[in-house]
A and B are shown apart, each in its own frame.
Chain A
């Protein structure tokens, strides 16, 4: 028996080494797969159930005795759809007092985003701005509507509209809305790039279905003759007993080992079964590469984005004002080219000091390029230039340039670092270099998990 086990170990090690060379990733260990399955079975509020393959692998491990428990679980599906996205405006809208971006992007978050911007390109305010963005669709689901894929597909208007508000932390001195500094409504006319989009999911679904089908068929063929159903049913009955609902993974693991250790099975059949399971795990893990490829293909085939935005800004120095924006984006991999046109109008015809103001405050054209995500989705960058004509008092034309680096700290948190330069001073814009930082949270995942 020991000889057989050693042979199996060598075979598995050899197979694993080949895989490591080919994919530069660690193979799944038997222990990790079992622990993963048990963790799923013992998740909070879940019905406890151990899958068929877990029992098979536990049986193999009992036979093997010498399982390596330090290898990581099957290669994580690391290329993620969201990391491919660089089209979402999370920070303060451009032209708002706390804006740290010259370039505003046409995309919106599905549910909720939050951003803190420190520093500003304009000189009307100082301090920190907090921007919250959401959609009517998110509000409706918060009020009790079920958030199902079918409803999301039908709610075209509610999910294409984004509402954002920026609040200034330095202005909160009264119990009113004095901290509100700007609000924006944005409508995505073309180019909804949400990963919920049916076109994207359909492109992903086909390749993944084939991988699952091939893996399952191989496991059925290799494991069909290994008798484990009885053990699985005993373990599941143990997991579902009221006294065992709060057991740990380790306790469940001990029960699993105790149950399967009583089973006898032909080692050759067991070995080929385990190889089929491990191979299937690796092929499924590698399937995410197809998801990434499909995402990039989807973006390539849907290069156009066009949005319209209306912004209201409080400005105590001159006059509150309105801005209309047309935001255009076009994907030319590996870059997205953005072209925005903006115009602002003063709400008042006279400044607080009594100076007359023109109705048209300013107008501008912004051209920018944004990279796709780099370093496995950990950063992206953008370069942009804005030509603006200030009509407020003394008409001046200025050019603003900006270089920006977005560090994706986690899948939720992003840290934008920006340097901007203005070639001259106007009533509202500082001349010279400005350095701006922020912190953006793409809260769709967090909000979803809190429900």
Chain B
């Protein structure tokens, strides 16, 4: 797995990777999907594997949509998205922090682009 640019990654056609979402200081409401496949995140299983089965195949650019929701009552102080390759190396990390003066619930959207060689 290679980092090609801001939140853009290159994968071999048979390669998988893992997305882990940490939450601190509130309720965990993170969502994810790719190519119509739901990536189920919750506080008990805050990570999901993105396998070749859900990617579009060689030569494709796949957009992994991640939505971090800050609910009104117990908004998390922060979320942290970690991209982990098949060898369990941390390839990239993206932080999102609660902005106190913004009306809630609001969400932060993060798109990871995965280009399959």
Contacts and interface: CB of A to CB of B under 8 A. Distances in A.
B31 A49 contact: no
A83 B106 CA distance: 16
A444 B74 contact: yes
B77 A449 contact: yes
Q: Which of A44, A53, A77 has the most CB of B within 10 A?
A: A77
A85 B73 CA distance: 10
Interface string B69-111: 1011111010000000000000000111111101111111111
B48 to A, nearest CB: 12
A129 B105 CA distance: 33
Interface of B: 5-8, 22-29, 31, 33, 35-36, 38, 40, 42-44, 61, 63, 65, 67, 69, 71-75, 77, 94-100, 102-111, 113
B36 A217 contact: yes
A148 B23 contact: yes
Interface centre among B26, B72, B99, B104, by most chain A C-beta atoms within 10 angstroms, is B72
Interface string A132-167: 000000000100001111100100000000000000
Contacts, number: 136
A195 to B, nearest CB: 4
A439 interface: no
Contacts of B97: 43-46
Interface of A: 37, 39-40, 43-47, 49, 51-53, 76-77, 80-83, 85, 110, 141, 146-150, 153, 194-196, 198, 201-202, 204-205, 208-209, 212-213, 216-217, 220, 229, 233, 236-237, 240, 284, 288, 291, 411, 444-445, 448-449, 451
A90 to B, nearest CB: 14
Chain A contact residues, majority secondary structure = helix
B6 A49 contact: yes
B103 A76 contact: yes
Query: Which 9 A/B pairs are nearest by Cβ-Cβ distance?
Result: A80-B72, A149-B43, A82-B73, A449-B100, A195-B73, A216-B65, A81-B73, A77-B105, A149-B28
A201 B43 contact: yes
